[in-house]
Amino acid sequence: MDKPLYYYRRHSGGISQEGNSEKARMFHIMAMYQAYQRRKKTGFINLTKDQMNYYLRYYCLYQAEHNSKDGLFRRLAFLFKDLYFIPSDVKKKEFWQVFGKILGINRAKTIIEKGAIF
């Protein structure tokens, strides 16, 4: 073949490029959740409830930490949704790190920012 059939174009607005990888990960988790809900109704092979809760936990902690434009109460709502999915998170370090960050007490990088939780 002398000439390529397709040229891949990279640009800053690409969903998985130029620092948008976390946004892509969040959309991926929401797509997984929607598929999980559909498959529960039809009986298709699905993630376990614990597996889905793990991903939803990450989604909630990420939204609580990074959406400062949403305001304090919305961010706290995401944080407490995490406890709905995994109540034992109240004992975990990353929950309290994000809580401290929302309140402005914690300025350090959290486990969520480092990407170590996913």
Q: Which pLDDT does position 8 carry in this prediction?
A: 67
Q: Which pLDDT does position 102 carry in this prediction?
A: 84
Distances (CA, A) of 54 to 4, 7, 84, 88: 42, 37, 11, 12
Residue numbers of the chain with a pLDDT score lower than 70: 1, 7-20, 108-118
Q: Which pLDDT does position 56 carry in this prediction?
A: 87
